[in-house]
Each structure stands twice: as structure tokens, then as C-alpha cells.
Structure 1
Amino acid sequence: MSLSVRLLLALLLIGIALLGHWVQRDQLHDNYDNQISFVDVLYFTTITVTTVGYGDIVPVTEHARLFDTFVVTPIRLFVWLIFLGTAYDFVLKRVWERWKMRVIQQHLRNHVLIAGFGTSGTEAFRELVRRGARPGEIVVIDQRSAAIAAAEDLGATVLEDDATRNATLEAAQVARAKAIIVCAGRDDTSILIVLTARRLAPDVPISVVIRSEDNEPLAKQAGANTVINPASFAGLLLAGSTHGHHLADYMADLAATEGQVFLHERRVTSKEVGKPLAAIGTGLGLRIYRGERIVGFWEPEAGSLENGDLILEVVPSTPAS
């Protein structure tokens, strides 16, 4: 579309010059045969707009020279600007972007990949940065130029392409990513991205936003580790607020890093093995993920931590002094 608009604009400008020369063709002189035909006018216009002319056809009246000075010369400048801008956008810029992406790809490792940079993707990006991630370590994939521009302004590494394609995810080094966040805006697109990503990166954790409850099992089957339904989560907060107006505030506090506390997941350390969950010193232990088993802090199994356990804890945003 952009190329078509530029081409039409260039033709329109050349057409204006051509019409002006044709109307005042009797004010031009052909040094070859002293006759001015339409072909001569077309030739003169093209040569004059693209160069300074060869001198074989020249304007001989003051009016014709003023027309070339104040109409054709600006047209020549605009046409050259269009050609140069097109060459930059469609040749030089793309070559530069490909080279830059190859350099970036060589160093992409343990990055977070965000497929879709709408409201959810933008908030996920901001929260990752608040949690300590460097913006350049977050790769944003989106087909919309405006979304890519917004992500680039925030410092993200960007890729304007279709995240459902193998080649796109491979270019983003999905297999070497630390995590994948999928929020494409449509459940079918998000599930297809999850399928593609899971095939290329069998071991990378994938989180996906699904808007329809019926599609949540499909997203799980596609390979998503975490499925988040914004409407369901909002409903939980709303329902919880009816049993105490502080419940929703605390839930939001846990989910973000801007409050007093936040949720943290980590592996048990060697020094903690054999100790009870309540004895960890980094925060308040809530759960243990032991293989396929989920152990709550009140259960007997929480009395002794084991190698390989994952601990879910609440930690203060600001360490105690």
C-alpha cells in the first residue's frame, strides 16, 4: 500500500509537469527538428523531472522558464525525495534490519518472548521490567506496525511478523527463550501460536491469555503451562471483594511488584532440604510443588523440604532492614 501510494504520487507530479509543458508546447524549442510533438513533450518532461535536461529541447519564453523554475523544479525535488525515501524504506532499511536482527539473534538467550503487544502484552512487558528484566531481553512479536513502534519505544527487541509461523519464532530464537507469553487478542490465534511454539520449544514455559472459558482446555492441550482468563480472574476478585473489601486489594498486591508484597517461585536450596516450609527465611511459604503433587503449608508433607521442590512464597517488595 505504501509503495502504491508513493508511485501514484510520483506519477501525479510528473503528470502535472507533463500537462503544463503540453499546454505551452509552443514556448519550447526543439534544436533537432524545430517541431514539438507529444513524444517530444513527454521526453522533455521526463528528462527535466529526473535530471537537469540535455539541452536538445529548451524553454524559449520567459513564461516557460518561470514554469520550469517554480513548478517543475519543486516537482523534481519531490520526486527524488519519493524515490530516495522508497529506496531507504524498502531496500536500505530492510537490509539494515535484517543485519541487526542477525546480530541480535546471535546473542538471544534466556529472553522472554511476548507474542502480541496489545493491552495485556504491554502490561506484561512493564511488569517484567519492574521485576528486573532489561527491556532489550524481551522480544516482542506483532504484525501491527503501531504495536511494534510502541514496543520499540519502550526498548524491546522487536520483530514485525506473524507469530504463528515457524520461521518467525525460529528467528526469535524461541528454543533458547526463558519463557513465552502469548496474548494475541484472539483465542484461535493464541492457541495456534502455543502449538507452534510448543513444537519448536518443548521445554520452554508458555503462558497464554484465553478469553473464552471453553477454549482453556484447548490451550492446555496445545501445550500451555499457564492459561489465564482475564474475565474469570476479574470475576474472582469481584466475588472476593464481597467477603471483605481488602481481599481484592491484597490479590492485586500479590500479582504485581508495586505493592508491599509479591508472589515468588523458586527452587529449594540445599541448606533448606529437611527443614519445614515454615522455616524458610526468604518469605512466607505457601505451597510446595513436588513433582505432580501440590503440598499446602498446612499439610504434613510441608514439614520437610526435599531436593527438587519448588516453593511458592510471599516476599516483601522491600527487604526488611
Structure 2
Amino acid sequence: MIHLPLVRQGPLRALSIRAAAALLLVLLTVGMVYADRDGYRDVNEDGLSLLDCFYYAVVSLSTTGYGDITPYTPHARLVNIMFITPARVLFLIILVGTTLEVLTEQYRKNLRVTRWRRKLKDHVIVCGYGTKGRSAVTALLENGLDKSRIVVVENRDVALRHAATDGLVAIEGNATRSSVLNEAHVKSCKAVIIATDTDEASVLISLTVRQLTGGQVRIIAAVREQENAALLKQSGAHHVIVSSSTAGRLLGLTTTAPPLIDVVEDLLTPGQGMALAMRAAERNEVGRKPRELDTLVVALIRRGKVVPLGGEAAVAIETGDMLVYIRSEDAPANGVVV
């Protein structure tokens, strides 16, 4: 099941409003008939009670019309022409309108899903919308990725509601199943982020994605235990982040060198002064050493691998290299913010 972003009020609220409007219309009709009850004749010829007025109002508004109670004075007939007949039409509109709205809403949803499927390409699939999944989506949005190019796969109702509230398309189901990933168009996506709660599920999702895409889609996964990182890479993940080890190292830094944790948080949190960024090497930088550049280069990526900058051997920049550098938040971004 595909959950599109919420754009309107819930169906229960809309139904409640219509039911209240129909009840109010019935009560107004009963009041009109009861006030002019002397102008009506019933088959018993004993006058109209309040219950008879309710009966006549419901029968008239629902267009049943048994004919056992009829207006016979000119004033009562005028009231029927001027009020009862328009109220009958309005009552039918309220009842039929509720059904039409349900059908129209279903049609609009199918139309939105069809349009979404047609435009979906080069998107990012996020498996799991817990703490890690939400943080990953936040980072994607901060790097300029549009919400329409993010698809969340979840099987928890609370997480699905959060994703829809955040304006994201969410697919309900288990990401370990190939049918669910095909629903998310995994074969045409740009990357798959695995942010599940268990390492076992992450491995299964990675294996399923690799089987469906032939290893052509980049897989980024998070695991809790270091010993499962190698297994996840063997299952097809290109990048594995060990959440427990990373959190432990940060805790250790906070204990032994408290200022370092502030620097790390500053680099990883946008809008806090400094940020990690990545860009392609420019033509005039080819052949030069990274330390000679005006920007503070902290890493050099060549053919998908990190080239160490330390040591005795001097590293020269080559065509096609990617430079990871530290920039100020006030400076314009020439590449992708990490």
C-alpha cells in the first residue's frame, strides 16, 4: 500500500460534518412542520404529534412519501413548496455527496499514484523511518534533494504516519520482500539507504536489493555491531556505518578530549559554523598538492577510494579526483555538503 503525503482532512471528519448537516436539516424541517401542524391532515384525522412531525420530515426528505400525512391548507402547501422541497434536494445532495466524495477521493488517489509512478526515477529509497531513517532524510533534504525523490519503506503504522506528515511518499510493507521493493521502483532508483532496527533485516534487505538490481544500485546501510559490517558488505552493501562503534568512539572522545566532540558535531550539523563538503577537482588544481590549495582539504577520493594525504609520499591531484574539504557555512557551496 502506498501512502502519499497528507493534503486534506481525514474522512471521519468529513463524514461527521455531513451527518451533522443532515441531522440539522431534519430538525429544521420538524420545527417547520410542527409549527404549522394544523395545516396537515393524516389518515387518522387526530392531528399531528411531535412524533408524526419527525415521521413526516424523514419520509419527505428521503423522498419516500407514503401519503398518509399531507398538507391541505394553502399556507402548509406554500411551506412545502418554499422550504420542504429545497430541503429534500439538499438532503439528497448531502447523502449522495458523501458517496461521490469517497469515489472521487479514490479516483484522485489512483491518479496521484499513477502520476507519481510515471515521474519516479533516480530517487532514494529509505528502508526504515526510525531515528536513523529520519536523520538520513533530513541530511538528504539539506543537500537539496526534493521530497518527491525520496521513498520510505516501512511496516510500522506510527512511522508511516510520520513519513506522510513530513510530506514523503511511504510504502507500507517489509523491505525484505522483493514485491515491496519493486513497488518502490528499486531498479530505477539512485540509492537505497537501509536504516532498520536489526542487523538481520539489514542483511536480508541488502541481499534482496542486490538480487533485484544486479548490484547496479548503491546501497548504504547502518548496523549496530561491528562484526556484522563485513557480512553486510558481502551481501551487497557499498557503504556500511557501524552505529554502535561510532557512538562509542564519540563517547570516548567526549571523555578524554571534550572539545573534539564539539568540532565533530559542528562539522556534521548544518548551520553551525563549519561543514564537510565535497567537490570535483578543478582543471587548474590538477598536478598540485592538496595542502597547497586555499581550501582545507581533509581527504582525496580517487576512483571511489580514499587516498591518504599523510606520510612521506606527496600526493598530487589528478583529473577526476574528488576533494573533501572543510568550508564555512557562510561561504558558497561549490559541491555537495557531506
Residue in structure 2 matching 1:127, options 116, 135, 139: 139
Classify the secondary structure of the residue corresponding to 1:159.
strand
Task: Tell which deviates more after alignment, 231-240 or 127-136.
Answer: 127-136
- Preserved contact between residue 268 and residue 307 of structure 1 (Cα < 8 Å): yes
2-side partners of 1:94 and 1:144: how far apart?
A: 23
- Preserved contact between residue 276 and residue 304 of structure 1 (Cα < 8 Å): yes
1:211 is matched by which residue type in structure 2?
R
Deviations 1:228-276 (A, max 9, x none): 2222111101111233211111112222323222222333233322121
Residue in structure 2 matching 1:255, options 252, 264, 268: 268
- Preserved contact between residue 127 and residue 152 of structure 2 (Cα < 8 Å): yes
Deviations 1:85-126 (A, max 9, x none): 9x94xx876664443223112212232221111111112212
In structure 2, runs of 5+ residues without a counterpart are 1-58, 69-94, 333-338
2:239 is matched by which residue type in structure 1?
T
The structural deviation recorded for 1:285 is 1.0
Q: CA RMSD in A?
A: 3.7
- Preserved contact between residue 122 and residue 190 of structure 2 (Cα < 8 Å): yes
2-side partners of 1:301 and 1:291: how far apart?
A: 19
Residue 286 of structure 2 corresponds to 273
2-side partners of 1:302 and 1:97: how far apart?
A: 59
Task: Tell me how many residue pairs correspond in the alignment.
Answer: 255
- Preserved contact between residue 240 and residue 248 of structure 1 (Cα < 8 Å): yes
Identity among equivalent positions (%) equals 28
2-side partners of 1:296 and 1:208: how far apart?
A: 24
Residue in structure 1 matching 2:193, options 150, 157, 181: 181
Deviations 1:150-204 (A, max 9, x none): 1122122222232222232223222332322111212211221111222333233
2-side partners of 1:261 and 1:215: how far apart?
A: 33
Map 1:1-321 to 2 at 5 A: 88=102, 96-201=108-213, 202-281=215-294, 283-291=295-303, 294-299=306-311, 303-319=315-331
- Preserved contact between residue 262 and residue 314 of structure 1 (Cα < 8 Å): yes
- Preserved contact between residue 127 and residue 256 of structure 1 (Cα < 8 Å): no
Deviations 1:209-239 (A, max 9, x none): 2112332211111111221222211110111
TM-score (norm 1): 0.66
The structural deviation recorded for 1:293 is 5.1
2-side partners of 1:52 and 1:305: how far apart?
A: 85
Task: Tell which deviates more after alignment, 243-252 or 272-281.
Answer: 272-281
The structural deviation recorded for 1:300 is 5.5
1-side partners of 2:226 and 2:270: how far apart?
A: 27
2-side partners of 1:217 and 1:53: how far apart?
A: 74
- Preserved contact between residue 135 and residue 154 of structure 1 (Cα < 8 Å): no
2:136 is matched by which residue type in structure 1?
A
Classify the secondary structure of the residue corresponding to 1:251.
helix
1-side partners of 2:108 and 2:199: how far apart?
A: 34
Classify the secondary structure of the residue corresponding to 2:118.
helix
1-side partners of 2:225 and 2:281: how far apart?
A: 36
2:222 is matched by which residue type in structure 1?
V
2:196 is matched by which residue type in structure 1?
A
- Preserved contact between residue 277 and residue 302 of structure 1 (Cα < 8 Å): no
In structure 1, runs of 5+ residues without a counterpart are 1-47, 59-79
- Preserved contact between residue 296 and residue 302 of structure 1 (Cα < 8 Å): no
The structural deviation recorded for 1:54 is 9.6
Structure ranking higher on relative contact order (CA contacts 8 Å, 6+ apart): 2
- Preserved contact between residue 187 and residue 217 of structure 2 (Cα < 8 Å): yes
